[in-house]
Structure 1
Amino acid sequence: MSARLFQPQYLQAPRNFVLPQFSQAICLEIGAGMGRHAILFAEQNPNKILVAVERTSAKFKVFAARQQDHQLENLYPVHADAIPWVVHALLPQTVEQLFLLYPNPEPKNPAQRWLNMPFFEFLLSRLQDNARITLASNIPAYLDEAASQLEQVWKLPFVRQAIAPDSARTHFEVKYLARGEPCEELIITKPAGYQTRFDSYISPVARC
Structure 2
Amino acid sequence: MAVHQTKITTFYPRRGRVSGRHEDALERLLPRLGFRIPGPALDLTALFGRQAPVVLEIGSGMGDATVAMAAADPGRDYLAVEVFPPGLGNLLATVEEAGLGNVRVAAGDALELVRHMLPADSLDAVHIYFPDPWPKARHHKRRLIQRVNVTLLVSRLRPGGVLHLATDWAHYAEQMLEVLNADPTLSGGVIERPLSRPVTKFEARALAAGSSVTDLVYTRLS
TM-score tier (shorter): 0.7 to 0.9
Structure 1 residues 27-69: Cα deviation after superposition (integer angstroms, max 9, x where no partner): 1100000111110111100111011111111221121111111
C-alpha deviation, 1:24, in angstroms: 2.9
Aligned position for 2:119 = 91
C-alpha deviation, 1:180, in angstroms: 3.3
Question: Is the CA contact 2:39–2:117 (under 8 Å) kept in the aligned structure 1?
Answer: no
Structure 2: runs of 5 or more not aligned = 8-35, 46-50
Structure 1 length as normaliser, TM-score?
0.78
**Distance in 1, Cα, partners of 2:141 & 2:156:** 21
Aligned position for 1:5 = 4
Question: Is the CA contact 1:111–1:117 (under 8 Å) kept in the aligned structure 2?
Answer: no
Question: Is the CA contact 1:25–1:96 (under 8 Å) kept in the aligned structure 2?
Answer: yes
Letter in 2 for 1:148: E
Seen in structure 2, the aligned counterparts of structure 1 residues 39 and 136 have a Cα distance that, compared at 3 Å, is same
The 4+ residue runs of structure 1 with deviation greater than 3 A are 15-21, 162-165
**Distance in 2, Cα, partners of 1:21 & 1:5:** 24
Letter in 1 for 2:218: I
Letter in 1 for 2:44: Q
Seen in structure 2, the aligned counterparts of structure 1 residues 89 and 18 have a Cα distance that, compared at 3 Å, is closer
Matches within 5 A, 1:60-79: 60-79=88-107
**Distance in 2, Cα, partners of 1:176 & 1:72:** 29
Greater Cα offset, 82-91 or 155-164: 155-164
Seen in structure 2, the aligned counterparts of structure 1 residues 16 and 88 have a Cα distance that, compared at 3 Å, is closer
C-alpha deviation, 1:17, in angstroms: 6.0
Matches within 5 A, 1:106-185: 106-108=134-136, 109-116=139-146, 118-152=148-182, 154-155=183-184, 156-163=186-193, 168-185=198-215
Greater Cα offset, 118-127 or 98-107: 118-127
Aligned position for 1:46 = 74
Seen in structure 2, the aligned counterparts of structure 1 residues 88 and 5 have a Cα distance that, compared at 3 Å, is closer
Is 1:19 the counterpart of 2:46? The answer is: no
Q: CA RMSD in A?
A: 2.7
Letter in 1 for 2:116: H
**Distance in 1, Cα, partners of 2:174 & 2:85:** 31
Match of 2:109 among 78, 81, 92: 81
Seen in structure 2, the aligned counterparts of structure 1 residues 135 and 35 have a Cα distance that, compared at 3 Å, is same
Describe the SS at the equivalent of 1:185.
Answer: strand
Is 1:31 the counterpart of 2:59? The answer is: yes
**Distance in 2, Cα, partners of 1:120 & 1:96:** 15
**Distance in 1, Cα, partners of 2:41 & 2:93:** 20
Structure 2 length as normaliser, TM-score?
0.74
Greater Cα offset, 126-135 or 177-186: 177-186
User: For this pair of structures, how many residues does the alignment match?
Assistant: 185
Structure 1 residues 54-108: Cα deviation after superposition (integer angstroms, max 9, x where no partner): 1111221121111111120011122121111222321110111110001001223
